[in-house]
Structure 1
Amino acid sequence: MSNITVFTTVFGNTDPLHEPASAGGARFVCFTDQQIRSSKWEIVQMPPQAAPTRAARMMKTLSHKTVDTEWSLWIDANFTLMVEPEKLLKYGEFVNFIHRDRTRISDEAREIIRLRKAMPDATMRQLAAYQADGFDTKASPQRALSCNGVILRHHTPQVVALNELWAAEIDKHTLRDQMSLDYCAWKLGFEISRWPGLHDRNPYFQHKHYRRPTNDY
Structure 2
Amino acid sequence: MFDNNSNVAISVLDEESDDHGRMRARARRKRKKLLHRGENGFALRLLRKLLKYWMLLIIIPVVGFLVFEAFIIGTKPSLMVSSQRGTPNEPSQFSLEFNKVDQATPTLGKDPKSNLNRLDPTTRVIGGVRQRCLKLLPPEELEHLDIPAGKESRGPVKKVLYISESDTSFAGGNTALSQQHPEVTRFNLFTGNQTLHERESSFEVKETMMLHCGFYSSAGGFKITDKDQSYMNACKAVVSTCAFGGGDDLYQPIGMSGASLKKVCYVAFWDEITVRAQESVGHRIEENGFIGKWRVVVVRDLPFSDQRLNGKVPKMLSHRLFPQAEYSIWVDSKSQFRRDPLGVLEALLWRSNSVIAISEHGARGSVYDEARAVVKKNKATPEEVEVQINQYHKDGLPQDKRFNGRKALSEASIIVRKHTPLTNLLMCLWFSEVVRFTSRDQLSFPYVLWRLKAFQNVNMFPVCTRKDLVNSMGHLRKVKPLQS
Give the TM-score of the pair, scaled to structure 2.
0.41
Counterpart residue identity of residue 339, structure 2: V
| TM superposition shift of 1:26 | 1.0
Residue 392 of structure 2 aligns with which residue?
Answer: 130
Residue 14 of structure 1 aligns with which residue?
Answer: 247
| TM superposition shift of 1:205 | 1.7
Change (3 A) 1:7 1:117: same
The answer as to 2:301 corresponding to 1:55 is no
Change (3 A) 1:199 1:57: farther
| TM superposition shift of 1:215 | 9.2
Where structure 2 has 5 or more consecutive residues not aligned to the other structure, the ranges are 1-145, 148-235, 279-284, 286-290, 350-354
Residue 470 of structure 2 aligns with which residue?
Answer: 205
More helix by percentage? 2
Larger-gyration structure (1/2) = 2
Counterpart residue identity of residue 103, structure 1: G
Q: Conserved in 2, the CA contact under 8 Å of 1:95 and 1:193?
A: yes
Counterpart of 2:446 in 1: which secondary structure? helix
Change (3 A) 1:188 1:174: same
Change (3 A) 1:118 1:150: same
Distance 1:176 1:7 in 2: 20
Matches within 5 A, 1:129-208: 129-137=391-399, 141-143=400-402, 144=407, 145-189=409-453, 190-191=455-456, 192-198=458-464, 201=467, 203-208=468-473
Distance 2:476 2:295 in 1: 26
Q: Conserved in 2, the CA contact under 8 Å of 1:79 and 1:208?
A: yes
Matches within 5 A, 1:7-86: 7-23=240-256, 24=260, 25-33=263-271, 34-35=274-275, 36=278, 37=285, 38-47=291-300, 49=302, 50-68=305-323, 69-86=325-342
Counterpart residue identity of residue 336, structure 2: T
| TM superposition shift of 1:182 | 1.1
Counterpart residue identity of residue 6, structure 1: V
Residue 114 of structure 1 aligns with which residue?
Answer: 376
Counterpart residue identity of residue 13, structure 1: G
Counterpart of 1:198 in 2: which secondary structure? helix
Distance 2:439 2:306 in 1: 11
More strand by percentage? 1
Distance 2:317 2:394 in 1: 26
Q: Conserved in 1, the CA contact under 8 Å of 2:315 and 2:330?
A: yes
Q: Conserved in 2, the CA contact under 8 Å of 1:98 and 1:198?
A: no
Change (3 A) 1:211 1:123: farther
Counterpart residue identity of residue 464, structure 2: L
Counterpart residue identity of residue 29, structure 1: V
Distance 2:465 2:475 in 1: 14
Identity %: 28
Change (3 A) 1:214 1:87: same
| TM superposition shift of 1:43 | 0.4
Q: Conserved in 2, the CA contact under 8 Å of 1:135 and 1:142?
A: no
Residue 94 of structure 1 aligns with which residue?
Answer: 356
Counterpart of 1:22 in 2: which secondary structure? coil
Counterpart residue identity of residue 448, structure 2: C
Change (3 A) 1:14 1:154: same
Change (3 A) 1:215 1:159: farther
Distance 2:315 2:331 in 1: 9
Higher relative contact order (CA 8 A, sep 6+): 1
Counterpart residue identity of residue 59, structure 1: P
Distance 1:81 1:106 in 2: 31
Q: Conserved in 1, the CA contact under 8 Å of 2:240 and 2:328?
A: yes
| TM superposition shift of 1:123 | 0.6
Give the TM-score of the pair, scaled to structure 1.
0.89
Q: Conserved in 2, the CA contact under 8 Å of 1:99 and 1:147?
A: yes
Counterpart of 1:31 in 2: which secondary structure? strand
Counterpart of 1:179 in 2: which secondary structure? helix
Counterpart residue identity of residue 15, structure 1: D
Where structure 1 has 5 or more consecutive residues not aligned to the other structure, the ranges are none
| TM superposition shift of 1:51 | 2.7
Superposition RMSD on alpha carbons, in Å? Answer: 2.1
Counterpart residue identity of residue 142, structure 1: K
Q: Conserved in 2, the CA contact under 8 Å of 1:64 and 1:155?
A: yes
Q: Which runs of 4+ in 1 moved over 6 A?
A: none
Change (3 A) 1:27 1:214: closer
Count matched residues. Answer: 212
Counterpart residue identity of residue 384, structure 2: A
Deviates more, 1:171-180 or 1:51-60: 51-60
Counterpart residue identity of residue 335, structure 2: F
Change (3 A) 1:215 1:102: farther
